[in-house]
Structure 1
Amino acid sequence: MPALITPFEALACPLDGAPLHGNGPTRQCPAGHSFDVAAHGYLNLLPVQRKRSRDPGDSKEMVAARRRFLDSGCYQPIAAAVSQAVLPAQAHSGTLACLDAGCGEGYYLRELATAAQARGQALSVLGVDISKWAVQAAARRSRQMAWVVGSNAGLPVLDASVDRVLCMFGFPVFTEFARVLKAGGELLLVDAGPDHLRELREIIYPSLKPERPAPANWPAPFHATTAQQLRFAVTLENPQQIADLLAMTPHLYRATAAGRARAAALQHLQLTVDVRLQVLRHLA
């Protein structure tokens, strides 16, 4: 029986957009641009001229903190809701091509693959992140999927080749998502709701900024279909969990030194998780 979870193969050269081919240690486009597969099995398709810094994206320490926190299961209800939103109610007869744009260390794609296998749904899977440390960590844990260092601003993916795009707490680039999605494909956006991690934010900030409402309108060719607000409580039971959560969010850099010190003094913390899941359909 063929494998249900397979690597996504419709990759594009980041320099000219042409298809990349090859099954060995390199991938090459017809113009001769060549990219080596790293020892851990991922591709770096982020050209030097498109980097805004020497080592963009999450650091090695941030990736390790995120891995530890997500492995604890605190965000498993989010992963379950994402899988429910992405996968069809009944197994699709073909293979769904799924892209996580800003995949981090791959937690949500791994959870999605597990849910798909339980339903008998075939997936071809691609995780893209601008952090080489995140992609390296993801590739170490799953060779069933394709992992690529790349940017949402110029996804190394062929036009109209993807059925589902995930953007988890990330930076959506709607023009690129529209380009790579097939007509009728879907984009799942997951963003923080107004009360997300409120208890932690009240500790590290002098005051909380007003939350931005969800957009009333979405850019063409996207049409809103379903929306879901997911709320639940989690208890962080030790200082390491609290430190890991803070390290994997932008709050670590936005908080004052005094705010970080107050968080570091905590022994445990009960938190509200509040996220919005919005599904947008690509209309032809």
Structure 2
Amino acid sequence: MTTVPFQALACPLDGKPLTMANNAWRCTAGHSFDIAKQGYVNLFPVQQKRSSDPGDSKAMVAARQRFLDAGFYRPIADAVSDAVLGQTERQPTRDTSFSCLDAGCGEGYYLRRLAGAAQDALPLALMGLDISKWAVLAAAKQDSRLGRQQEHSQAPQIQWVVGSNAHLPVQSQTLDSVLCMFGFPVMDEFARVLKPGGMLLQVEAGPSHLRELREVIYPTLKPERSGEAEVPEGFIHHHTERLCYSLTLEGAEEISDLLAMTPHLYRASAEGRTRAAALETLAITVEVRLVQWLRSE
């Protein structure tokens, strides 16, 4: 694994490039953003927030971390890594780094898996961004622990940022790849920050994703959307891959963690959540689509 520091940050207040000095990121207009002791930076100004504590709660982040660390979504992470590393092989030159942003990174699972898979690829400049400070804090803490455990080898150098997809604190046309994992895509922002020919990889739930859990918590299921997604402005469709597999959750905690890390926790009724809490085992289907869009030249 070879990673290099991510350098393409932009000031969230005026869009000017940020440079790091004296443990802070600064722009030429004098705006300064301190790096927290855990290693992340908050680039989400108060005036852009719609609530005092947006995004996933501390409890949701902890549930997602336990679930992902158990390896239940490892096939998804491996498919994402394969797609991104495949894009690095299409780089016109191999003497520079390859920059990738995970827009809605959560606690950083997919970026860490990508960093670990990139042993013989281009050096990666990785950035994880999330609107939840609890998610970014968890990601930064895990990186710090990994660094201590790998004292004699290179630990991931991932830039963790609190920020919003609606106003990405990234310089225009600087990224080779953007990941949007079950997240909230803002296509015009993704198009802005990607280089021409850069790849946006969207991972979204397929029709049968977590169907068995949804059948427990909802009285009826909504009809699935039909038809292909429209091509976003500024992009061309490159490739779509379907990934489907089954797994079995054993024990109430694993089932509870899965429910807690999804929007279904808040959409389900109290009766539905009670039915889920009573389960001791649950066989579920995981189905996702991985859609690759390339930024128009």
User: Does residue 245 of structure 1 match 2:252?
Assistant: no
Q: Which runs of 5+ in 1 are unaligned?
A: none
Root mean square deviation of aligned Cα: 1.3
**C-alpha deviations, 1:10-39, integer Å up to 9, x for none?**
100000000111233111111101111011
How far did 1:86 drift? 1.1
User: Does residue 270 of structure 1 match 2:272?
Assistant: no
Match of 1:50 in 2: 48
Distance 1:186 1:89 in 2: 7
User: Does residue 79 of structure 1 match 2:92?
Assistant: no
Residue 111 (structure 1) aligned to one of 110, 113, 116: 113
Distance 1:217 1:67 in 2: 33
Equivalent residues in 2 for 1:179-194 (5 A)? 179-194=192-207
Which amino acid in the other structure matches residue 107 of structure 2?
E
Match of 2:104 in 1: 102
Match of 1:29 in 2: 27
Match of 2:211 in 1: 198
User: Does residue 279 of structure 1 match 2:292?
Assistant: yes
Distance 2:215 2:138 in 1: 32
Equivalent residues in 2 for 1:162-173 (5 A)? 162-173=175-186
**C-alpha deviations, 1:156-179, integer Å up to 9, x for none?**
000001000000000100000000
Corresponding residue SS for 1:187: strand
**C-alpha deviations, 1:166-203, integer Å up to 9, x for none?**
00000100000000000000000000000000000000
Percentage of matched positions with identical amino acids: 61
User: Does residue 10 of structure 1 match 2:8?
Assistant: yes
| TM-aligned CA distance change 1:57 to 1:109, over 3 Å | same
Match of 1:220 in 2: 233
Distance 1:232 1:215 in 2: 22
Corresponding residue SS for 1:246: helix
TM-score, structure 2 as length reference: 0.92
Distance 2:192 2:222 in 1: 34
How far did 1:5 drift? 1.1
Which amino acid in the other structure matches residue 66 of structure 2?
R
Equivalent residues in 2 for 1:112-191 (5 A)? 112-117=114-119, 119-142=120-143, 144-191=157-204
Corresponding residue SS for 1:163: strand
Corresponding residue SS for 2:204: strand
Distance 1:170 1:133 in 2: 16
Match of 2:221 in 1: 208
**C-alpha deviations, 1:48-69, integer Å up to 9, x for none?**
0111101000000000000000
Q: Which runs of 5+ in 2 are unaligned?
A: 145-156
Match of 2:60 in 1: 62
How far did 1:90 drift? 7.2
User: Does residue 41 of structure 1 match 2:39?
Assistant: yes
How far did 1:215 drift? 4.0
Corresponding residue SS for 2:280: coil
Which amino acid in the other structure matches residue 82 of structure 1?
V
| TM-aligned CA distance change 1:40 to 1:85, over 3 Å | same
How far did 1:9 drift? 1.1
Match of 1:255 in 2: 268
